[in-house]
Chains A and B, each alone.
Chain A
Amino acid sequence: MNLLRLTAMEALEMMGRDELSAGDLTGAFLDQIDRHEGDVAAYLYVNEAGAREQAAAAGGRGGDRSLNGIPTAIKDVLCTEGMRTTCGSRMLEGFVPVYTATCVSRLAEAGVVNLGKTNMDEFAMGSSTENSAFGPTRNPWDLDRVPGGSSGGSAAAVAAGEAMWALGSDTGGSIRQPASFCGIVGFKPTYGSVSRYGLVAFASSFDQVGPLTRSVRDAALMLQHLVGKDPRDSTSVAHPEEIVIPRDQDLSGLKIGIISELSGGGIDAGVREVFQQAVRTMAEAGAEMETASIPHAEYCIPAYYILAPAEASANLARYDGVRFGLRAQGARDVIEMYEETRSLGFGDEVKRRIMLGTYALSSGYYDAYYGQAQKVRTLVVNDFDAAFREFDLLVSPTTPTTAFGLGERVDDPLTMYMSDICTVPANLAGLPAISIPVGLDGGMPVGMQFMGPAFSANRLLQAAHSTEAAVAFDRVSPLIEEQD
């Protein structure tokens, strides 16, 4: 039996029936890491010995913990006490946190096995994982292509069978876009529903932690453990309803809007075709599918690329070489130390965004950029409010293209930014959104994005699960397939 094809739900059931041991399960994933990590490079750190120990302990404890023994990969943007956390940056090479992120602790308490820390675009800034200071991750469907980003390592690990599921973070699409590129499920929760404590900040008013999984039901299962108010995060709130694992049912009674601005001209023809096929399948499954509008959609990328870099420029000021991380040697004074440390420690894209954000906040430009972008944010929030008065949910393709080739866009920041066009609106409005694979275009996965009103995770998960079943996309990457 190919254990790598299992979902976490299936694995838990098998372990509950004693048909599978936690040790064998973790062993299967570690073996796959051995086989393919050299090509895929999904991990920055593989916690091999620790994972085996945890799995052995999980076996002893039986199934008393709800996620007992599930092999989990953690994006290296989340702090893990005693385990190196680099955010894909030279700046934090060798940094060992003194505390663990709340979301990681919650999963650990539920019994997951920590397989290690996954690669990412430096400080979560990027859409291809090529901005990692430690080299790119490759897409398990085609090693010449990017896995997306910034949670590219997590997405690739799950798609390659190097993890059963993974934690990622999403600021402008960093969970959904790589999930789409790698043919898996990625969920970005409502802003505030998952604690950010221990998530290394990129843009604080956008960042959310969420699951990358092999099924919608797995996403719901992990989300059950992630949500909740954390006294250490002032912006976290209790999720108003308990997260329910979706059941098998059709889509009847749901009125779903297809966002015209995000599913037309700017989307590759091949992607559009797969998307439209999925829309037809949804209609056949009972959903009322109609065109919807987010009139200010085209202003989302401009607003996002002011606001997120502005917040980032402050969030990344703490990397100054004083208390942790890299310090350039030989500086004659503090200013020199700052400038040399930061120039040495940050890569190109991070510097570019710090510069952009600093510029947008600097004297004389604040009103024209930051102030205006905040107002655009209001308009986008209002657009969604209006749309949700008419529709239960909204859909669009997750990305305008399938995974692009390694190196194809590295010299063209703006084109790279445009690959977030479909995902950024949900971050601006703080809304929950999920991407599920709905087909292939030229052999590469295509994702469909569902967006819902704030805290509508259950509605979103149920619809995504029903669509998943109706579309019946059952392909996995060749790296998993070859173990059949």
Chain B
Amino acid sequence: MVNHDDVRYVAGLAKLKLAEEELDRYAVQLSTILNHINKIAELDLDGVEPTSHVLKLTNVFREDEPQSSISQEAALANGPEVEGNAFRVPAIVRK
């Protein structure tokens, strides 16, 4: 049901690097799980409203009042790679 290429596509979207044999293993496992999940296809769901949230809340706001930020030092403290006052990442577009 889910094949090797589907898994490769999804892994690309999710930014997971999977080896060839992992792609196969996930294809089997995801198919097994989806096979069970497909049970919901039995149901006639026409006209049923979707629920994305069980709470009936609406319009929850905060006032536009600035609060103090964390210090630059604290912001950068957990950074795996920091240069000067900023987070550093490898080239976004590789040559």
Contact = CB atoms under 8 A, between A and B. Distances in A.
Interface of A: 95-96, 98, 191-192, 205, 231, 234-235, 237, 296, 298-299, 301-303, 305-306, 313, 317, 320-327, 331-340, 342-343, 346, 351-352, 354-356, 358-359, 362, 368-369, 371-379, 381, 413-414, 417, 429-430, 454
B26 A355 contact: yes
Given A333-B90, A379-B48, A98 B74 contact: yes
Given A323-B78, A379-B43, 19 more contacts: A95-B78, A98-B74, A192-B57, A205-B54, A235-B55, A298-B39, A306-B37, A322-B79, A323-B79, A324-B79, A327-B80, A334-B89, A334-B91, A342-B15, A354-B16, A362-B9, A374-B50, A429-B54, A454-B54
Contacts of A298: 39
A430 B10 CA distance: 30
Given A346-B16, A352-B29, A332 B36 contact: no
Interface of B: 2, 6-7, 9-11, 13-18, 26, 29-30, 32-34, 36-41, 43, 45, 48-55, 57, 60, 62, 70, 74-75, 77-81, 87, 89-94
A417 B33 contact: yes
B34 to A, nearest CB: 8
Given A96-B78, A205-B53, A355-B26, A340 B17 contact: yes
Given A325-B78, A414-B33, A332 B90 contact: yes
A325 B80 contact: yes
B33 A191 contact: no
27 contacts: A95-B78, A98-B77, A98-B78, A191-B55, A192-B55, A231-B62, A235-B60, A302-B36, A302-B39, A302-B40, A306-B37, A327-B80, A332-B90, A333-B91, A333-B93, A334-B89, A336-B90, A339-B16, A351-B26, A354-B14, A355-B11, A372-B40, A373-B40, A374-B51, A375-B48, A379-B45, A414-B36
A342 to B, nearest CB: 5
Closest 8 CB pairs of A and B: A430-B54, A374-B50, A327-B80, A324-B78, A339-B17, A333-B94, A338-B15, A377-B51
B77 to A, nearest CB: 7
A381 B54 contact: yes
Contacts of A362: 9-10, 13
A200 B17 CA distance: 24
Given A234-B60, A359-B30, A413-B33, A375 B45 contact: yes
Given A303-B40, A323-B79, A355-B7, A430 B55 contact: yes
Contacts of B33: 305, 356, 413-414, 417
A434 to B, nearest CB: 18
Contacts of B34: 356, 359
Contacts of A351: 16, 18, 26
A1 to B, nearest CB: 45
Given A235-B57, A327-B81, A334-B90, A381 B16 contact: no
A375 B44 CA distance: 10
Given A340-B17, A343-B17, A378-B49, A369 B29 contact: no
A320 B15 CA distance: 9
A179 B25 CA distance: 33
Contacts of A332: 90-91, 94
A137 to B, nearest CB: 24
A66 to B, nearest CB: 28
A326 B80 contact: yes
